[in-house]
Amino acid sequence: MAEWTPNLASSDRPRYLAIADLIAADMKEGRLSPGDRLPPQRKLAGRLNVDFTTVARGYVEAQKRGLIESRVGQGTFVRAAPKLGLPVRLPAQRRVEIVDLSMNLPPEPDDPALIERMQAGLAEVGRDLVSLLRYQGFGGSPADKDAASAWLGRRALVPSQDRIFITPGAHPALLGIFGILGKAGDVILSEAITYPGARSIAAQLGLELVGLPMDHEGVDPAAFADACARLKPKGLYLNPTLQNPTTLTVSERRRGELAAVARRWRVPIIEDDAYGFIPVHGPAPFAAIAPDITWHVAGLAKCIGAGIRAAYVVVPDVRSGWLFAAAVRAATVMASPLTVALATRWIEDGTADAILRFIRAETAARQVLATELLPPGSFKADPLSFNLWAQLPVGWTRSAFIGHMRTTGVGVVASDAFTVGENPPEAVRICLGGPTTRPVLRRALEYMSHALAESPTLASTFL
């Protein structure tokens, strides 16, 4: 039935709903049979003289009703239904899910050999399960710190063990550091467009987060110096490599300039190096350039997986470590010994490196897909960033664009979540990682491409 052409004039419903209704009607009347292949979306859109997004929404609606199914590399097919006219209950693994492009996660491993290797590491850790259920000392055992030191060595960091602490993720570490450096009413500086977690932590502690202007190399050093003179800040928070959300990496030259300003004004640097391990040859971290004034937080969520709730923190000196241990221990007691043991095992046996190689390769492939499908110049990205930063074309507001994408179940995040201060730009963050597969991502980006290329008025005309 590749030539199937519904008569949209026979329905007064929105066109995308009419497409789904007519699929159901033709199945009931026998004009469509289980296994029939429906026309490709672009071809049907041309035949009906409607926008591609209308057909895409119609097919999604039909999938939600259990009428059709998509097969990777084959097309869209009519599903078998026990009783036409009744809702079809899909098995859990076949239900149509929202394409969530709002969470900035690494792609999930799908290589059987790699997954088997990961499972073997988990089984090996389980051999010592009983001891891992006990309370452990805060900051990690010597063996775990040895693994942390080996991992940090990939970023040219060679701190002594008494400056390394293992925490249950980056957020508790940042909460502790912010709380040590400032008290309610104090100023912490950051990028003007920054990670939402930093905003939340500052608000929770009553700190005033002040955003600094940025260019293509990172925070403006002159603006940083001026803010130091005027505001007497207690720290500078930076997410300097593959920054979330702009995907910018601060150049090595700019890192040196910012470190010099920070040292001159005695302002500690809080380096959130969440994505620092993703580039193969990234710039040296601030903790290597100015170790005596830098609090370095290397979470494992982005370079291994978000379920590994562990971060390696390097403090500026031993005394800072005492303060840090007291602050974080009071809130979290300790990192999960089971989680930390698994991270240690994977680092020691090379599994962590294998996961990282997979993440790099799959991320690069998804970025190529985005470049092929989205209008040129419509977004900023790095070949190894998990997300895109899309400046919306004239005519689109971020709220209208997000609402339009959600009508087909595609979730993205508005710039409001990342903006420090007023006047968020008309921009959105689009994430490419997580459990989303490449075929699903392709369909979402195709839909998004048409939305970016059309005005919102035209896009809504075809709904």
Considering only residues 272 and 394, tell me which one the structure prediction assigns the higher pLDDT: 272
Q: Please report the pLDDT score of residue 395 as a whole number.
A: 87
d(CA 461, CA 463): 6
CA dihedral for 111, 411, 393, 104, sign (positive or negative): negative
Tell me: pLDDT of 1 over 70.
Answer: no
Give domain status of residue 52, yes or no.
yes
Tell me: pLDDT of 212 over 90.
Answer: yes
d(CA 280, CA 241): 12
Backbone angles phi, psi at 298, to 5 degrees: -110, 90
Backbone angles phi, psi at 237, to 5 degrees: -90, 130
pLDDT bucket at 3, cuts 50 / 70 / 90: confident
Give domain status of residue 103, yes or no.
no
Considering only residues 52 and 138, tell me which one the structure prediction assigns the higher pLDDT: 138
Model confidence pLDDT, tens digit, residues 292-330: 999 999 999 999 999 999 999 999 999 999 999 999 999
Nearest of 132, 145, 384 to residue 243 by alpha carbon: 384
Tell me: pLDDT of 463 over 70.
Answer: no
Do 257 and 317 belong together in one domain?
yes
Q: Please report the pLDDT score of residue 455 as a whole number.
A: 61
Q: Which residues pair with 214 in a beta bridge?
A: 219
Residue 420, domain CATH:
3.90.1150.10
| Alpha-carbon distance values, 439 to 73, 393, 446 (Å) | 8, 26, 11
Do 324 and 189 belong together in one domain?
yes
DSSP 296-336: EEEESTTTT-TT---EEEE-SSHHHHHHHHHHHHHHHSS--
Say which range, 86-90, 169-173, 273-277, 355-359, has the weakest mean pLDDT: 86-90
d(CA 391, CA 381): 11
Do 154 and 65 belong together in one domain?
no
Q: Please report the pLDDT score of residue 456 as a whole number.
A: 67
**Mean pLDDT of all residues belonging to the chain:** 90
Q: Please report the pLDDT score of residue 57 as a whole number.
A: 83
Give domain status of residue 113, yes or no.
no
Q: Please report the pLDDT score of residue 86 as a whole number.
A: 43
Q: Please report the pLDDT score of residue 100 as a whole number.
A: 83
Considering only residues 65 and 259, tell me which one the structure prediction assigns the higher pLDDT: 259
Give domain status of residue 390, yes or no.
yes
Q: What is the number of domains present in the chain?
A: 3
Give domain status of residue 375, yes or no.
yes
Percent of the chain with pLDDT over 70: 93
Tell me: pLDDT of 381 over 90.
Answer: yes
Give domain status of residue 96, yes or no.
no
Nearest of 41, 29, 30 to residue 2 by alpha carbon: 41
Q: What is the pTM (predicted TM-score) of this model?
A: 0.80
Backbone angles phi, psi at 419, to 5 degrees: -85, 130
Tell me: pLDDT of 250 over 70.
Answer: yes
Do 165 and 262 belong together in one domain?
yes
Among 322, 349, 376, the domain-final residue is: 349
Percent of the chain with pLDDT over 90: 70
> What per-residue string of b and e applies to 392-422 under the rule 16 or more CB within 10 Å gives b?
bbeebebebbbebbebbbbbbbbbebbbbee
Q: Which residues pair with 244 in a beta bridge?
A: none
Do 180 and 258 belong together in one domain?
yes
Nearest of 235, 327, 216 to residue 286 by alpha carbon: 235
Q: Please report the pLDDT score of residue 98 as a whole number.
A: 57
Do 365 and 309 belong together in one domain?
no
Residue 342, domain CATH:
3.40.640.10
Do 75 and 150 belong together in one domain?
no
Residue type, 10: S
Q: Please report the pLDDT score of residue 259 as a whole number.
A: 98
Among 291, 316, 349, the domain-final residue is: 349
Do 327 and 218 belong together in one domain?
yes
Do 339 and 367 belong together in one domain?
no
Q: Which residues pair with 354 in a beta bridge?
A: none
Tell me: pLDDT of 94 over 80.
Answer: no
Do 195 and 273 belong together in one domain?
yes
Q: Please report the pLDDT score of residue 51 as a whole number.
A: 78
Its domain, for residue 364, covers 353-461
The tokens for 108 are: 């999930």
Residue 85, domain CATH:
1.10.10.10
Backbone angles phi, psi at 289, to 5 degrees: -80, -45
Do 328 and 204 belong together in one domain?
yes
Q: 449: which residues sit within 8 A by CB, 6+ positions away?
A: 373, 374, 375
- DSSP label at 134? S
Q: Please report the pLDDT score of residue 257 as a whole number.
A: 98
d(CA 338, CA 125): 8
For residue 440, give the H/E element and its range. helix 438-453
Model confidence pLDDT, tens digit, residues 324-338: 999 999 999 999 999
Do 155 and 79 belong together in one domain?
no
Give domain status of residue 136, yes or no.
yes
Give domain status of residue 100, yes or no.
no
Average pLDDT, stretch 75-97?
54
pLDDT bucket at 88, cuts 50 / 70 / 90: very low
Among 64, 90, 116, the domain-final residue is: 90
The tokens for 89 are: 């209950």
Backbone angles phi, psi at 451, to 5 degrees: -65, -45
